């Protein structure tokens, strides 16, 4: 079952209406998968402080999932497959705020998505390993430098996460890269809603 096997209804809606609706869907799916994750002793949970060692580990896991999906997209042969994996990567990026809404509010991500949905940001061109390196750099170095409370150290280097502004900048940069392969906003919208339908199906069928 994938995006081509689900029914996608796209109502007439403004950018703001779409992103507001979609962020709500994203939150629902993220919370639903976190419920599964808690049963598997996974670390990714909503409302987990990004100042804690555990919260920072959860961030690293989501960051790796973004890189994993982007790599899968680059490796895929068909355009449909590439864009489907890209939608997965975007979904993981948009899940990051829900780890700790005191650091990044969903509203600020929503505003970024609206801002980035301008026609010039959609080029319909394929990403390559340089883009992957750029995204990995943003997550691993630019943001990673602020993740100083490590589970394997007895004392935290920073008691509080102080990288909120940098993290928001990184997420914006990464989203702007991930939007590039789509030809326009409508195509991005179609893939995000189709993928959400697939995720709903997976949750219903005990994936």
Q: Which residues bind other proteins (CB under 8 A)?
A: 1-2, 5, 76-78, 81, 84-85, 201, 204-207
Taking the complex as a whole, how short is the minimal distance between the CB of residue 67 and other proteins, in angstroms?
17
Residue 79 vs 151, nearer CB to other proteins: 79
Taking the complex as a whole, how short is the minimal distance between the CB of residue 21 and other proteins, in angstroms?
25
Tokens found for residue 134: 């750029």
Nearest to 199 by CA among 16, 13, 36, 19: 36
Taking the complex as a whole, how short is the minimal distance between the CB of residue 186 and other proteins, in angstroms?
22
With residues binned 3-state (H G I as helix, E B as strand, rest as coil), the percentages for the chain, rounded to 5, are 70, 0, 30
Taking the complex as a whole, how short is the minimal distance between the CB of residue 198 and other proteins, in angstroms?
9
- Measured CA to CA in angstroms, residue 24 lies from 20, 53, 55, 94 at distances of 6, 27, 22, 11
Residue 100 vs 196, nearer CB to other proteins: 196
Residue 78 vs 155, nearer CB to other proteins: 78
Residue 14 vs 78, nearer CB to other proteins: 78
Residue 137 vs 201, nearer CB to other proteins: 201
Taking the complex as a whole, how short is the minimal distance between the CB of residue 2 and other proteins, in angstroms?
6
Taking the complex as a whole, how short is the minimal distance between the CB of residue 37 and other proteins, in angstroms?
17
Residue 2 vs 153, nearer CB to other proteins: 2
CA distance 59 to 132: 18
Cα 92 from chain centroid (whole Å): 3
Long-range CB pairs of 101-108 (<8 Å, 24+ gap) are 101/47, 102/49, 103/50, 103/161, 103/164, 103/167, 104/164, 104/167, 104/168, 104/171, 106/23, 106/27, 108/168
């Amino acid at each position: 079952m994938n995006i081509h096997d689900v029914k996608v209804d796209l109502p007439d809606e403004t950018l703001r209406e779409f992103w507001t609706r979609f962020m709500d869907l994203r939150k629902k799916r993220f919370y639903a998968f976190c419920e599964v994750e808690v049963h598997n002793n996974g670390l990714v949970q909503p409302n987990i402080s990004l100042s804690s060692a555990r919260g920072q580990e959860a961030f690293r896991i989501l960051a790796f999932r973004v890189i994993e999906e982007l790599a899968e997209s680059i490796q895929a042969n068909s355009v449909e497959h590439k864009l489907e994996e890209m939608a997965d990567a975007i979904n993981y990026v948009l899940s990051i705020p829900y780890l700790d809404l005191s650091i990044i509010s969903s509203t600020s991500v929503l505003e970024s998505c609206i801002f980035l949905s301008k026609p010039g940001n959609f080029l319909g061109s394929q990403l390559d390993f340089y883009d992957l390196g750029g995204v990995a750099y943003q997550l691993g170095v630019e943001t990673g430098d602020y993740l100083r409370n490590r589970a394997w150290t007895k004392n935290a280097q920073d008691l509080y996460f102080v990288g909120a502004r940098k993290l928001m900048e990184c997420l914006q940069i990464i989203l702007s890269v991930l939007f590039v392969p789509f030809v326009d906003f409508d195509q991005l919208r179609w893939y995000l809603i189709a993928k959400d339908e697939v995720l709903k199906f997976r949750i219903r069928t005990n994936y």
